[in-house]
Amino acid sequence: MAIECTVGDDGGDLQVSVAGRLCMGDVARLHNRLLKCLAEQPDSLLIRLDELYVDEPLSLAVFTAIARQAARWPGTPVLLCGPPPATRRLLRAPAYRRIPTFASATAAQAHLGEQKRMLPSLSDELIPVAGAARHARDLATDACLRWELSHLIAPASHITSELVSNVVDHAHTMMTVRLSLRPRYLNIAVRDGSPEEPSPLPPEQPPPHVAKGRGLLLVAAMANSWGCMPTVNGKVMWASLAR
């Protein structure tokens, strides 16, 4: 890939420096790299473009795709910082105007400082055993009660349980369960150490055990949105419920 990405952690915020000449051949790998940054669920994602030059303007759509994913989950603000004049002119096109763009990372951080507020989250590390799903349901119930979202107890606990059961049944790795409260959504995420993405069974082909294997279909039915994203050493399954 002609494009180089350097990732740095700044106290909960992630800064990604994207440098080189961007063309369509770079888009898939850059998109995957930025998705892995989002999967870390940072407080914000600052994409530094100080040394980015664009050979094919359509390739800038990669940033629109990342901003759209961030809005669905994990609710992380995505900001573009310091593009050179030629790149900045391209980013003024209607397709990219919704992505906040700042003259520098310092200006972006100042903007975040004005808007940022601490949003609560609960998380726990679980081992892949039979009792993990029950523990996950308890964690989801606790989160909903703490945040006065009693109307979401049933779907949140069910979704969390199904995502954890998926790890127990298929990934067989340690997992991290995290529930986060965002301005519009209650976000649920289960991270495990297996890169293999799950594939829900089609409704017309029920498994031998009726409930077994249909968990992700139930998640899809209950959540406003859900999905799977790669991480550096595995994947994260996520779902969002409207508050």
pLDDT, one tens digit per residue, over 41-89 is 999 999 999 999 999 999 999 999 999 999 999 999 999 999 999 999 9
Taken as a whole, the chain contains a residue count of: 243
The pLDDT, as a whole number, for residue 235 is 97
Spatial separation of the C-alpha atoms in residues 32 and 24, rounded to whole Å: 14
Give yes or no for residue 228 having a pLDDT over 80.
yes
Helix-then-strand count for the chain, H and E = 7, 11
DSSP 168: I
Sign of torsion over alpha carbons 93, 15, 53, 104: positive
Give yes or no for residue 207 having a pLDDT over 50.
no
The pLDDT, as a whole number, for residue 1 is 52
* Owner of token pair 């986060």: 180
Q: Measuring CA to CA, which residue among 98, 124, 112, 241 is closest to residue 178?
A: 124
Question: What's the half-sphere exposure (Cβ side, CA atoms, 13 Å) at 20?
Answer: 16
Mean predicted confidence (pLDDT) in 227-239: 95
Give yes or no for residue 209 having a pLDDT over 80.
no
What's the alpha-carbon Rg for the chain, to the nearest Å?
A: 19
- Alpha carbon distance, N-terminus to C-terminus of the chain: 41
Give yes or no for residue 8 having a pLDDT over 50.
yes
Summary mean pLDDT of the chain = 91
Output 127 or 201, whichever has higher pLDDT: 127
Whole-number Cα distances in Å, 219 to 21, 66, 184? 40, 23, 19
The pLDDT, as a whole number, for residue 202 is 53
The pLDDT, as a whole number, for residue 215 is 81
Give yes or no for residue 214 having a pLDDT over 90.
no
Q: pLDDT-based confidence at 131, cuts 50/70/90?
A: very high
Give yes or no for residue 5 having a pLDDT over 60.
yes
Q: Measuring CA to CA, which residue among 11, 43, 41, 225 is closest to residue 123?
A: 41
Compute how many other C-beta atoms are within 10 angstroms of the C-beta atom of residue 48. 21
The pLDDT, as a whole number, for residue 12 is 79
Whole-number Cα distances in Å, 65 to 7, 111, 147? 19, 22, 30
The pLDDT, as a whole number, for residue 175 is 98
State pTM to two decimals.
0.87
Give yes or no for residue 170 having a pLDDT over 60.
yes
DSSP 196: P
Task: Go through the domains of the chain in sequence order and give each one's CATH number.
Answer: 4-115 (3.30.750.24), 121-242 (3.30.565.10)
The pLDDT, as a whole number, for residue 201 is 52
Compute how many other C-beta atoms are within 10 angstroms of the C-beta atom of residue 11. 6
Give yes or no for residue 206 having a pLDDT over 70.
no
Percent of the chain with pLDDT over 90: 81
Whole-number Cα distances in Å, 36 to 16, 206, 228? 11, 33, 11
Give yes or no for residue 210 having a pLDDT over 60.
no
User: What type of residue is 173?
Assistant: T
